[in-house]
Amino acid sequence: MVVQLGIIGYQNHAKRLISLTENNPKCNLQYIFHPNKKIDDKRGTNNLKDLLICDAIIISSPNSTHFEYIKKLSNFSGYIFCEKPPVTNLVELKKLKQLDRNKQRKIFFNFNYRFSELNKLLKTSSNSKKLGQIIDIRITASQGLAFKREYPKSWRANGKTNKHNLLETVAIHYLDLIIKNFGIMKHQSYFPRNISKNGTSYDTIQLILTYDNFNVSILNSYTTPFVGELEIIGTNGYLSIKNNLLKIHTPRNTFNKNNHFITPPVVLRKKFNIQKDYVMSLKKSFDFFISHAFKKKSFEKELFETSLLTTQLILENQISKKK
């Protein structure tokens, strides 16, 4: 027996998930749902009820519709794989918290970076003799999507329903990783902008997270060339990922012949492709979900709770910009 699947969504990120279903021997994709568009695929349907015969349903629709579908599937007894963010407002978040505990433990929100090498890197860096005490972390993930011809008509560019789409879709991953490895920050600041003017949602954002002894900066944009970089600066060394290369420089006490501080030597150098790490983390996350559905095993309640915590912090940032 395999896990029979239905998916809500059929293009962009949903295409990636469809590909994963077709390459996992433990599952079989039966239905691809869209509420009104005719899908050129024999598995296509415009009837949501068709999906109810499945063992599991994937929600990969625009952010603002995630809770709507969870609500419509309230009587569905199978497993739900829902893309992040789980919800886009605090009212919906409260309703998710009130779901029956057994229902909660059959819902998996796809914070796939939890399965990434980047997550492992942050974990080891927090207790690293090579780096020492961390004093600053900088994450940049950006690309030029806002200048593509199709962007202005996409749901991501619609400020009425997805004004904070970068915060909800991209930054949320990195915020989740930081919380997972370092706990809740003392303070967070959110700086959104619309630089391209191609659409009405924010196409560039920055999050500044303040901890007792260090700060974290997360920059995401749809208005730049592709940039995928990480820098962790500590009291004894620093780690950088740039141009698909990871390097660690240490120790701090590195001097020239005049006893002046100079750049420490590279003690570790290896390839680290951030794009490939994302692809692999998505596969691992999806396989994790299918494994639970295949074994008819509930998810740990901590997964549901931490997903809602990260989402709450994202929503609080949005509210701060309405004041």
Q: Which residue has the tokens 């749902």?
A: 33
Reported in sequence order, the residue ranges of 121-193 that DSSP labels E, i.e. its strands, are 134-142, 187-193
Buried b (16+ CB within 10 A) or exposed e, 173-191: bbbbbbbbbbeebeebebe
Pairing of strands 245-249, 238-242: antiparallel
Amino acid 302: pLDDT: 93
Nearest to 314 by CA among 200, 221, 215, 176: 176
Residues 136 and 257 in one domain: yes
Tell me the β-bridge partners of 5.
29, 56
pLDDT at 322: 63
> 219: buried, middle or exposed (CB in 10 Å: 19+, 13-18, 0-12)?
buried
Same domain, 249 and 177: yes
Q: Per the domain annotation, does 86 fall within a domain?
A: yes
Within a domain: 168: yes
Identify the helix (H) or strand (E) that includes residue 295: helix 274-295
Q: How many CB atoms lie within 10 A of CB 83?
A: 22
Report residue 11's pLDDT band, with 50, 70 and 90 as the boundaries. Answer: confident
Q: Of 102, 101, 70, 71, which is closest to residue 83 (Cα–Cα)?
A: 70
Q: How many domains does the chain have?
A: 2
Q: Say yes or no: 44 and 161 in one domain.
A: no
Residue 203 lies in a domain: yes
71 and 181: one domain? no
Q: Answer yes or no: is 290 within a domain.
A: yes
The residue to which tokens 């998710």 are assigned: 96
Domain that holds residue 164: 114-272
HEC letters along 100-133: CHHHHCCEEEECHHHHCHHHHHHHHHCCCCCCCC
Using CA of residue 273, residue 181, residue 287, residue 106, what is the dihedral sign?
Answer: negative
Any domain includes 20 = yes
> pLDDT tens across 283-298, in order?
999 999 999 999 999 9
Q: Residue 88 belongs to a domain with what CATH number?
A: 3.40.50.720
**Per-residue confidence (pLDDT) for residue 50, from 0 to 100:** 96
Q: What is the pLDDT of residues 190-238, one digit of tens each?
A: 999 999 999 999 999 999 999 999 999 999 999 999 999 999 999 999 9
Domain-located, residue 311: no
Higher pLDDT among residues 17 and 162, named by residue = 17
CATH number of the structural domain spanning residue 268: 3.30.360.10
pLDDT band for position 82 (cuts 50, 70, 90):
very high
Q: What is the pLDDT of residue 280?
A: 97
pLDDT for the residue numbered 162: 87
Q: Would you say 221 and 200 are in contact if contact means Cβ atoms under 8 Å apart?
A: no
Same domain, 123 and 229: yes
Q: Does residue 320 lie within any of the structural domains?
A: no
**Residue appearing with tokens 């979900």:** 289
Pairing of strands 27-33, 204-210: unpaired
Long-range pairs for 286-292: beta carbons < 8 A, 24 or more residues apart: 286/17, 286/20, 286/21, 286/24, 286/81, 286/110, 286/112, 287/20, 287/24, 288/108, 288/115, 289/56, 289/79, 289/81, 289/108, 289/110, 290/3, 290/24, 290/26, 290/27, 290/56, 291/26, 292/79, 292/108
**If you average pLDDT over every residue of the chain, what do you get?**
95
